[in-house]
Amino acid sequence: MPVIVLTGARQVGKSTLLKHLLPQTELIVFDPLMDSGNARQDPELFLDQLKLPVILDEIQYVPELLPVIKRRVDLSKKPGEYWLTGSQNLNVLKNVSESLAGRAALLSLYPMNFSERYDDASA
């Protein structure tokens, strides 16, 4: 899939996992108050400036990017161009399902459970 969407609760390790899996890939973190790189104002120009693949962290804060990403992946169809994360699952899933239907793989990352976190290596 050209777009991979990783959702999960806050602080479960979404960004850390993607940085580990894709160490050479640029990570852009969005903020609800700051318009990083004018992504909200001019999503076309913002995406023009990126080198793919790219990790767009907390995509729920910039839903304006989704229709532009859709148009771009329809032209290129290369797998793994856009890696998106979001911690407000319902909002992310709604926007992605409407904007990127058939273009995105949706994955969920859950917190470690007690036995995973405190597994006794000697057992």
Quickly tell me which residue has 């909002």 as its tokens: 91
Any idea where the domains of the chain sit in the sequence? 22-32+51-78+101-112
pLDDT in tens, 4-28: 999 888 888 888 999 999 999 999 9
pTM reported for the whole predicted model: 0.84
Q: What is the pLDDT along the chain (123 residues), one digit of tens a residue?
A: 999 999 888 888 888 999 999 999 999 999 888 888 899 999 999 999 999 999 999 998 999 999 999 999 999 989 999 999 988 766 666 777 778 888 999 888 888 777 766 765 554
Task: Give yes or no for a contact between 95 and 89, defined as CB atoms under 8 angstroms apart.
Answer: no
**In the numeric block, which tokens belong to residue 13?**
């390790």
